[in-house]
Amino acid sequence: MIVDQLLIKLTEVFAQDIYTAGAENANELYLEVNPEKILEISSYIHLELGYPLILMFANDEQSLKTGYAIYYVFADRTEGLLLIIKTLVDSGKMEILSLSKNIPSASLYEREINDLFGIVPVGHPEAKRLVFHGNWPDGEYPLRKEFDVRHKPVFAKKETDFTKVGGEGVFEVPVGPVHAGIIEPGHFRFSVAGEPIINLEAQLYYVHKGIEKLCEGQSIERCLYVSERISGDETFANSLAYCQAIEKIARVRIPDRAQHTRVVFAELERLTSHLGDLAGICLDAAYGFATFQFRMMRGWAYGAADELCGMRFLRSVNKLGGVRKDFAAGKEAKLREQLQKIRSELEDTVNIIKANSLFIDRVENTGILETKIASDLNAVGPGGRASGLRFDVRKSFPYEVYNQLEFNIPEHHNGDINCRMNTKIEECFESISLMLQALETMPDGNVLEAINSVEPYRFAFGLTEAPRGENIHWVMTGENNTIYRYKIRTPSFCNWPALCHAVKGNIVPDFPLINKSFNLSYAGNDL
Amino acid sequence: MFNTIKKIIKYPRLTQDYPYKSIDSSLFLGRTEINPAECNMCGECVSRCPSQAIVMDKTSNNIGINYDECVFCTLCEEICPTGAAKTTNRFELAEKGKSMLRSNTLIIDENNMTDASHEIICSQLEVNIKKIFGRSLYIREVDSGSCNGCDYEINGLNNPFNDIERLGISFVASPRHADMLLVTGTATRNMQLALAKTYNATPDPKLVVAVGACACSGGIFRDTYATSNGIDSIVPVDVYIPGCPPRPQAIIYGILKALDRTK
C-alpha cells in the first residue's frame, strides 16, 4: 500500500529517470535510476521526504551481466519502509557522483566503497582512505570478485594523513592503537590547545578481518557462525539480523515459540551490554562502588545466559528458521527470579548513584552531541536517542513479536553523558519487562522451521535493534545455497563520527568517559 | 552514604573459589569430543564445520577436532547421525604446545615460521622466568583483531566474581610494565606492526599467552587477505587457550599454566 503510494509520488517527479521499480519482501522498494540524476533524486528523498540515508554499499554484479551497482538505502522510520535506490557504475570510468555535500552521512560509505571496490566518489570533500592503512598498496580492491580472498598484497609504506589543525599552541596527542585499558585497538589523534579538544580524528580498521569477503561463496550455514562473530557482545543481534534476511529470502515464517525465545535472548543481550556500559561509565568517573554494583549485576545476567544456553555470549542459539533448542523450557521460573533480583538491585543502585552529586556533576553537560549533528550523521541507538532522535528498530521495523509487547522508548534531548546513561538505565528496565512479557506469553510448539535451501540471486534486509542501535544486514544469495554478497552495517559505524563530534570542546581527561558512554564496537565497525 | 554502606555489607563476598576449588561446570558448554569408535566416517561434520577444525582419516578410521581452530559452536554434535560427537563441559583446555591441541600434526610453512633464536632463548629462560615472577604477575592485554568477545571475558577477570588480583595477578596500562602479554585476535594486517612493537616494548623475561580460537589459529577468520593464522606467526607463544571465547575461568587456568601454578 504505502510502497505503491511512494512509487507514484516518485514517478511523478522523476518519471524519465526511474528505469525499473519493484517491491520485495513487503517493505523494500527497489528503484533503478539514472546515475546522472542521483544527486537530485537523493536530495529529494533526503530533504523533501525526510528519509535518512541509513546504508550505502556497492556490489560486484559482473557475473549477473550488470557490472558494478551502488545501492543507496533510505528509511521511512514512521511507516517502516525501506527505499533502495540502485545505480549502475560505468565500468570504463569507475566513478560515482558523491552525495556527501548534500547528505553528510554518505561520506564514510563513499570512502569505504572507494577502498574496497575502487569506485571513486567524484566531488567528495575528503576522499582519503578509510578501511586501509598505509600498508595497503594502491590498485588492490578486495571486494571485487576477481580478488582472491586468500591473496595477501605486499606491504606498502605510506604515511597516514591526519587532519592538521593550525594555530599557536596547538599540539597533537596520539593515542593507541594499543590502549591502557582492556579494550579493542584504534588510533585517536587529538588536536588540543591546552586541555580542550579542538579536533579528534579516529583511525579505526585495525581489526579489519575481511568478513564481507570471507562470506562470499560460503554456505548460508557457515555464514551464520561468522555473523555471530562480527562483534562479540552483539552476537545475538547480528546473527538475528542475518537469520531474518535468510528467512525473508526463503519466505519462511518461524514458529511463534522461536520468536518469543529470540526476544528473550535479544533483550538479555541488551541488558548485559547496558549493565557493562554503566559499569564502564562509573569506572571512568572513578566511582568504584557503583562500578562493582553494575559488574555484579552483569555477572548475574551472564549467569542467566549460562543457565539458558550454556554460552555467556549467546552463541549457537540462533539457527536459520528458529532457534537451536527449546532453551526456555523448564527454566522460566528460575529466569524470572533472576530478572527480578537484577531489577530490584538496579533500582537501588540507580537511586544511590543519582543522589551522588559529585558523580552527576561529572556526567552532566559533558560530551554533548547536538541533535542537528546527530541527525546529519544518522546517529543511532542510545547515542542518538539521548540527543532527541527518538526511534528504535523494534518500533519502526517491528520484528519477531515486538509489536505484541509493550515497551517505551526513553525520551531525552540534552545529548550529554547523563542522557546516554539515563537512556541505558531506562532501557535496562524495559528489557527486563520485555523478557518477562515474552516469557509470560510464550506459546507452546516447536522452535525450528528448518531452512535447507534458498533460491539463488534473491536478496533481503535484516534489521535489528542491537544494544548499540540500528543494525542492518543485506544478504544476496548465490548458487547452491551460498552467499553472493553480505553487507553488514553495525550501529558502531554510524556512531563513531558522532563520538568524534561529541568530544569537541571537552577536556582530554573526559574523553574516556565520553567514549564509554557510547561504548562503540571496533570489531563491528572494522569488520 | 548510608545506602552505599548497606549495599557493601549486603554482599560481603561474591568471588568464586576457583582455582582453589573446582567450579560447578555442569551448565557450561565446553569442548566437543568425537568418539572414533561410534563414528561412521560419513564426513558430514568435516564438511560443515564453520571453522574447518575437524580432521578425518578414513584409512586408519580416526577422527578428531583441532581445538586451536574449533569455535565451540556445537554444530557437529547437532548434525552427527550416530551421536559420536558429544559436547562435554570441560573448559580447562589451555596447553603449552599447539600440537597438544590438535588431532593432526601442523604443517608449518616456511614464511609462517618464527625466528628460531627466540625459541632457543625462551627455553633457556623458562626456568628462570618462573623463579623471577614468583607469585606475582603483571599483564598487558593486546587485542590484535578479535571480535571483542575474548576481551570482554578478560575484562570479566576483574569483576567481583573472578577478582584475579587475589592471585597476585594484575593488569597494567603499558607493555613496559608487563611480564605477560595476553593476546586475543588473529593478528590482522593492520595490527601486526603494533603487536610486534608491543612485544618488543615488553621487558625480558616475558610470557605470551594466546587467548581464543583466533589467536591460536585464526579460528573462523583464517585465510583472508587481512588476517594471519594465529599470533604465533608474529610472536612466540607460551600457552594457547582455546575457546570462542574461553570463559574467565579457562583464561585463569591458562595464565596459571603459563606460570606452572596449575595442579
Q: What is the pLDDT of residues B17-53, one digit of tens each?
A: 887 788 777 778 888 888 888 888 888 888 888 888 8
For residue A316, which residues of chain B lie inside 8 Å, CB to CB?
Answer: 29, 72-75
- Partner B contacted by A150 (CB < 8 A): yes
Cis check: omega of the bond before A177, within 30 degrees of 0: yes
Nearest CA among A241, A135, A256 for reference residue A468: A241
| Predicted-complex ipTM score | 0.89
Cell triple for residue A130? Answer: 578509510
Instruction: Tell me the HSE value of A298 on the side-chain side, using a 13 A CA sphere.
Output: 29
Closest residue, chain B, to A353 (C-alpha): B4
Closest residue, chain B, to A524 (C-alpha): B147
Nearest CA among A245, A234, A251, A266 for reference residue A401: A266
Opening angle at CA A274, ends A234 and A319, nearest 5: 30
Q: How many Å apart are CA A53 and CA A42, to the nearest integer?
A: 9
User: Predicted confidence band at B183 (pLDDT cuts at 50, 70, 90)?
Assistant: very high
Q: Do A310 and B28 touch (CB under 8 A)?
A: yes
Interface of A with B in 309-338 (CB under 8 A): 309-313, 315-316, 324
- Partner B contacted by A211 (CB < 8 A): yes
A181, A208, A226 member nearest B226 (Cβ): A208
Instruction: Provide mean pLDDT across the span A467-481.
Output: 91
User: Predicted confidence band at A1 (pLDDT cuts at 50, 70, 90)?
Assistant: low
Q: How far is B118 from chain A (nearest CA, A)?
A: 23
B146, B198, B219 member nearest A523 (Cβ): B146
Q: What is the pLDDT of residue B164?
A: 84
User: What residue type is assigned to position A144 of the chain?
Assistant: R
Q: How many Å apart are CA B52 and CA B29, to the nearest integer?
A: 19
Cis check: omega of the bond before B19, within 30 degrees of 0: yes
A205, A292, A352 member nearest B190 (Cβ): A205
What does the mean pLDDT of chain B come to? Answer: 81
Q: What would the pLDDT profile of A138-180 be if each residue is shown by its tens digit? A: 888 999 888 888 888 888 888 888 888 888 889 888 887 888 8
B29, B72, B160 member nearest A296 (Cβ): B160
Q: How far is B188 from chain A (nearest CA, A)?
A: 6
Q: What b/e string do you get for A87-114 counting C-beta neighbours within 10 Å, with b at 16 or more?
A: bbbeeeeeebbbbbeebbbbbbbbbbbb
Q: How many Å apart are CA A514 and CA B203, to the nearest integer?
A: 33
C-beta of residue B250 within 8 angstroms of C-beta of residue B93: yes
C-beta of residue B85 within 8 angstroms of C-beta of residue B32: yes
Cis check: omega of the bond before B205, within 30 degrees of 0: yes
pTM: 0.90
Q: How far is B198 from chain A (nearest CA, A)?
A: 8
The torsion angles phi and psi of A160, rounded to 5 degrees, stand at -80, 135
Q: What is the pLDDT of residue B105?
A: 57
Residue with cell 516447536: A446
Q: How many Å apart are CA A140 and CA B225, to the nearest integer?
A: 11
Interface of B with A in 161-220 (CB under 8 A): 161, 171, 173-175, 185-186, 188-191, 193-194, 198, 219-220
Q: How far is B190 from chain A (nearest CA, A)?
A: 5
Interface of A with B in 240-279 (CB under 8 A): 276
For residue B171, which residues of chain A lie inside 8 Å, CB to CB?
Answer: 182
Report how far Cα A225 is from the mean position of its chain's Cα atoms: 18
Q: What is the pLDDT of residue A330?
A: 83
Q: What is the pLDDT of residue B124?
A: 52
Q: What would the pLDDT profile of A14-39 be if each residue is shown by its tens digit? A: 888 888 888 888 888 888 888 888 88
Q: How far is CA A317 from CA A324, A372, B74, in A?
A: 6, 39, 10
Domains assigned to chain B: 32-88 (3.30.70.20), 110-258 (3.40.50.12280)
Q: How far is B241 from chain A (nearest CA, A)?
A: 17
Instruction: Provide mean pLDDT across the span B95-123.
Output: 59
Q: How many Å apart are CA A510 and CA B64, to the nearest integer?
A: 51
By the 10 Å C-beta count (0-12 exposed, 13-18 middle, 19+ buried), B244 is classed as buried
Report how far Cα B134 is from the mean position of its chain's Cα atoms: 22
By the 10 Å C-beta count (0-12 exposed, 13-18 middle, 19+ buried), A369 is classed as buried
Report how far Cα A366 is from the mean position of its chain's Cα atoms: 24
Q: What is the pLDDT of residue A239?
A: 92
- Partner A contacted by B7 (CB < 8 A): yes
Strand order, beta sheet including A18-24: A18-24, A28-33, A81-88, A67-76, A53-61
Q: What would the pLDDT profile of B110-123 be if each residue is shown by its tens digit? A: 444 445 454 554 45
- Partner B contacted by A343 (CB < 8 A): no
| Four-CA torsion A379, A385, A388, A390, nearest 10 degrees | 100
- Partner A contacted by B2 (CB < 8 A): no
User: Predicted confidence band at A328 (pLDDT cuts at 50, 70, 90)?
Assistant: confident
By the 10 Å C-beta count (0-12 exposed, 13-18 middle, 19+ buried), A164 is classed as exposed
B74, B142, B145 member nearest A316 (Cβ): B74
- Partner A contacted by B4 (CB < 8 A): yes
Q: What would the pLDDT profile of A353-375 be if each residue is shown by its tens digit? A: 998 888 899 888 888 999 999 98
Q: What is the pLDDT of residue B108?
A: 45
Domains assigned to chain A: 2-122 (3.30.460.80), 170-203 (no CATH), 211-526 (1.10.645.10)
Q: What would the pLDDT profile of A221-268 be if each residue is shown by its tens digit? A: 889 999 999 988 899 999 999 999 999 998 888 898 899 999 999 999
Q: How many Å apart are CA A193 and CA B153, to the nearest integer?
A: 38
Q: What is the pLDDT of residue A475?
A: 92
Q: How many Å apart are CA A277 and CA A280, to the nearest integer?
A: 5
B50, B75, B198 member nearest A178 (Cβ): B198
Q: Do A221 and B185 touch (CB under 8 A)?
A: no
Query: Coil, strand or helix: which one is A198?
Result: strand
Q: What is the pLDDT of residue B126?
A: 55
Which residues 6+ apart lie within 8 Å of B71 measured at CB?
A225, A229, B50, B51, B53, B213, B219, B220, B244
Q: How many Å apart are CA A190 and CA A192, to the nearest integer?
A: 6
Q: How many Å apart are CA A197 and CA B245, to the nearest integer?
A: 37
Residue with cell 599454566: B257
Q: How many Å apart are CA A176 and CA A445, to the nearest integer?
A: 51
For residue B212, which residues of chain A lie inside 8 Å, CB to CB?
Answer: none
Query: Coil, strand or helix: which one is B154?
Result: helix
Per DSSP, what are the bridge partners of residue B209?
B182, B239
Q: What would the pLDDT profile of A503-514 be if each residue is shown by its tens digit? A: 998 998 889 899
C-beta of residue A218 within 8 angstroms of C-beta of residue B43: no
Nearest CA among A141, A301, A283, A171 for reference residue A236: A301
Closest residue, chain A, to B192 (C-alpha): A206
DSSP one-letter code for A161: P
Q: Do B27 and A310 touch (CB under 8 A)?
A: yes
Q: How far is B205 from chain A (nearest CA, A)?
A: 21
Q: How far is CA B29 from CA A310, A319, B26, in A?
A: 5, 17, 8
For residue A228, which residues of chain B lie inside 8 Å, CB to CB?
Answer: 73
Q: What is the pLDDT of residue A425?
A: 93
Mutation target for A interface from B7, B14, B147: give the one with most A CBs within 10 A. Answer: B147
Q: What is the pLDDT of residue A183?
A: 87
* Rg value, chain A, Cα: 23
Q: What is the pLDDT of residue B125?
A: 52
Q: How far is CA A450 from CA A406, A454, B49, in A?
A: 29, 11, 18
Nearest CA among A293, A422, A428, A280 for reference residue A360: A422
Q: How many Å apart are CA A232 and CA A92, to the nearest integer?
A: 41
C-beta of residue A141 within 8 angstroms of C-beta of residue A147: yes
Per DSSP, what are the bridge partners of residue A202?
A188
* pLDDT tops 50 at residue B109: no
Q: How far is A259 from chain B (nearest CA, A)?
A: 21
User: Predicted confidence band at B134 (pLDDT cuts at 50, 70, 90)?
Assistant: low
The torsion angles phi and psi of A291, rounded to 5 degrees, stand at -55, -50
Query: Coil, strand or helix: which one is A354?
Result: helix
**β-bridge pairing B54-57 and B62-65:** antiparallel
Q: How many Å apart are CA A301 and CA B16, to the nearest integer?
A: 16
Opening angle at CA A380, ends A377 and A386, nearest 5: 100
Strand order, beta sheet including A170-175: A170-175, A187-193, A197-203
* pLDDT tops 90 at residue A181: no
Q: How many Å apart are CA B143 and CA B221, to the nearest integer?
A: 15
Q: How many Å apart are CA A48 and CA A13, to the nearest integer?
A: 12
Q: How far is CA A350 from CA A337, A338, A410, A488, B156, in A?
A: 20, 18, 16, 35, 22
Which residues 6+ apart lie within 8 Å of A214 measured at CB?
A149, A226, B221, B224
Which residues 6+ apart lie within 8 Å of B260 measured at CB?
B130
Helices (H), A187-234: 211-215, 220-227
